[in-house]
Amino acid sequence: MSDVSSAIPTRAPWWQSGVVYQIYPRSFQDSTGDGTGDLPGVIQRLDYLVSLGVDAIWLSPFYPSPMADFGYDISDYRDVDPLFGTLEDAERLIREAHDRGLKVIVDYVPNHTSDQHPWFVESRRSRDGPKRDWYIWHDPNEDGGVPNNWRSVFGGSAWTLDEATGQFYLHSFLEEQPDLNWRNPDVQREMMDVLRFWLDRGVDGFRVDVLWLLIKDDQFRDDPPNPDYDPDKPGSWELKQVYSGNRPEVHNIVRMMRDTVDEYDRRLLIGEVYLEFSELVRYYGEDLQGAHLPFNFSLILNPWEVDVVADLITRYEAELPDGAWPNWVLGNHDQSRLATRVGADQTRVAAMLLLTLRGTPTIYYGEEIGMSDVSIPKEEQVDPAGKVIPWMNRDPERTPMQWEAGPRAGFTTGEPWLPIADDADEVNVAVQREDRESLLSFYRWLLQFPRSEAAISLGDYERVWHEGGVLAYVRTDGKRRFLIALNFGGEDASLPLDGADSGTVVVSTGISRVGSQVTGSVDLAAHEGVIVALPLVDNDAS
């Protein structure tokens, strides 16, 4: 392996050089045989994560929940749902992860609670109760209809009438997920205490759910129509979210969360933000006192094409405020899986991209073995998001982790909550662990070297470009230089090297090339990616 000549400087926070791995607890490992993954199951698999080489795990919600949105509808922020285990299990998980050098990031869902949360039960009881203002209530309009045109992300109006008290409450998602009123100082105080509850238990950070939606227009103005709306296009929205989200005041709340997290050492605040770069980067906050990492989903949301990706890197980097640390994501529990989006042939190129771009990478469980979406017939869909919007179904990307061959893939001894993929006998950890040319072995290699090279984990870009279907960039920390060349296409390609550049291939999707020299140009087979160690440019020379 490498001679790691430039060790990662210790002054960089752990999350800048670190790699995050997302676990959807329902689907990772079941320890009880009830068909649903749980926290003791995650503990059983910690050694796997260590051997993979990731630095932090982010766990999707495991809190008590009626499970209308599989845990994103929380009825108690300070406990664990019996389905997933106990609070002691969560504490043990944090301890055991830390013992192995892994950080633990938990999901924090501040925009809404479950309608079964005692706060909402109390809030809906009467118009003048003490918790009424903890949620967003509004009188009907003059005709008795909804207060405005805001839509739920899952379809239909964002307002539901509470017959008993004659007012509507707001829900940006399901009606079982009423939105908290973040303009209320008591809500703010209570929710900061929720953060402290988990910080006191040792978590290393939070992934904040739908951060950009937390504050809505105080005048409840209608959202304008989206001129680009196409009813036949999945992912297209009828209205532009001008007043129902991304309000300027949200940044005060982000700042409040950051201040709370900063009461503790070395903790991390990640924000889920689906916005264009220019708006996304505002979530770093003024003077970088907002989220450390507002998630960058651009690689998921844009076509997998060489010019598009090159442009994304350049534009994102240009928009980043001074000193802001970038991040990249290739998949999560709400999006079609990487292997399905880019095709199995491109998964190694994608992995190499994710793990060599400047910025913190997040891997979604199963990505490392090439899990694909599992097609689930509409009548078997369990994801509630599809109730109103027919194209929405997140079940395919949430199926159980494929650990080994066999009908239940080593995930459970019972009936899995979602079907196991048909390809699980071939696409699984046990098979790939034995095969040094497997995708899993490739990920493990990428996660040890080049991630341990400061030039790649923390260095700058010398140049980013694309040519003849190849995406290329040079990363350097002033001590070492690497060229990353990725063939996005299904045909051979050749990338001319600048001037005197020649170098040594140190990582390749085709193992046999490693150690070979390149001079003048890098020739790549279809779907091939290489990392080439280049000589340092001596700026003082000549």
Annotated active-site positions, please?
209, 272
Spatial separation of the C-alpha atoms in residues 206 and 60, rounded to whole Å: 10
Shortest Å distance, C-beta 39 to ligand GLC: 19
Nearer to ligand GLC, 74 or 268 (CB): 74
In which element (H, E) is residue 47 found?
helix 46-52
Nearer to ligand GLC, 333 or 466 (CB): 333
At 505 the three-state DSSP class reads: strand
Does the protein bind ligand GLC through residue 63 (CB under 6 A)?
no
Residue nearest to ligand GLC (CB): 72
Spatial separation of the C-alpha atoms in residues 96 and 426, rounded to whole Å: 30
Tokens 């924000």 belong to residue = 271
Spatial separation of the C-alpha atoms in residues 178 and 324, rounded to whole Å: 33
Q: Count the residues in the chain.
A: 542
Which member of 38, 69, 89, 367 binds ligand GLC (CB under 6 A)? 69
# of chain residues touching ligand GLC (CB under 6 A): 9
Nearer to ligand GLC, 134 or 173 (CB): 173
Q: Which of residues 328-367 bind ligand GLC (CB under 6 A)?
A: 333-334
Contact string 91-110 vs ligand GLC (x = CB under 6 A): ------------------x-
Which residues contact residue 189 at a Cβ distance below 8 angstroms, ignoring those fewer than 6 apart? none
Q: C-alpha dihedral over 514, 517, 520, 521, to 10 degrees?
A: -20
Identity of the residue numbered 530: V
Residue 370: φ, ψ to 5° = 80, 30
CB 8 within 8 A of CB 456: no
Question: What is the 3-class SS of 305-345, one letter each residue?
Answer: CHHHHHHHHHHHHHHCCCCCCCEEECCCCCCCCHHHHHCHH
Does the protein bind ligand GLC through residue 477 (CB under 6 A)?
no
Nearer to ligand GLC, 45 or 171 (CB): 171
Q: What is the largest CA-CA distance in the chain?
A: 83
Q: Which of residues 6-35 bind ligand GLC (CB under 6 A)?
A: none
Both structure tokens of 201 = 């238990």
Q: Which of 97, 67, 50, 293 is nearest to 202 (CA)?
A: 97
Does the protein bind ligand GLC through residue 173 (CB under 6 A)?
yes
Nearer to ligand GLC, 114 or 148 (CB): 114
Nearer to ligand GLC, 80 or 210 (CB): 210
Shortest Å distance, C-beta 37 to ligand GLC: 16
Shortest Å distance, C-beta 396 to ligand GLC: 14
Does the protein bind ligand GLC through residue 209 (CB under 6 A)?
yes
Shortest Å distance, C-beta 173 to ligand GLC: 4
Which member of 72, 182, 443, 473 binds ligand GLC (CB under 6 A)? 72
CB 161 within 8 A of CB 140: yes
Nearer to ligand GLC, 72 or 119 (CB): 72
Spatial separation of the C-alpha atoms in residues 245 and 219, rounded to whole Å: 13
Contact string 433-472 vs ligand GLC (x = CB under 6 A): ----------------------------------------
Shortest Å distance, C-beta 60 to ligand GLC: 7
Which member of 54, 158, 170, 210 binds ligand GLC (CB under 6 A)? 210
Q: Which of residues 389-408 bind ligand GLC (CB under 6 A)?
A: none
Angle at Cα 326 formed by Cα 234 and Cα 473, nearest 5°? 90
Does the protein bind ligand GLC through residue 77 (CB under 6 A)?
no
Spatial separation of the C-alpha atoms in residues 337 and 367, rounded to whole Å: 8
Contact string 265-294 vs ligand GLC (x = CB under 6 A): -------x----------------------
Question: What is the 3-class SS of 199-214, one letter each residue?
Answer: HHCCCCEEEECCHHHC
Nearer to ligand GLC, 173 or 206 (CB): 173
Nearer to ligand GLC, 396 or 450 (CB): 396
Shortest Å distance, C-beta 315 to ligand GLC: 24
DSSP 125-161: H-TTSTTGGGB-EE---TTSS-SS--B-TTSSBSEEE
Q: ω before 294 within 30° of 0 (cis)?
A: no
Shortest Å distance, C-beta 209 to ligand GLC: 5
CB 107 within 8 A of CB 269: no
Shortest Å distance, C-beta 59 to ligand GLC: 13
CB 22 within 8 A of CB 58: yes
Site for ligand GLC, rule CB under 6 A: 69, 72, 109, 173, 209-210, 272, 333-334
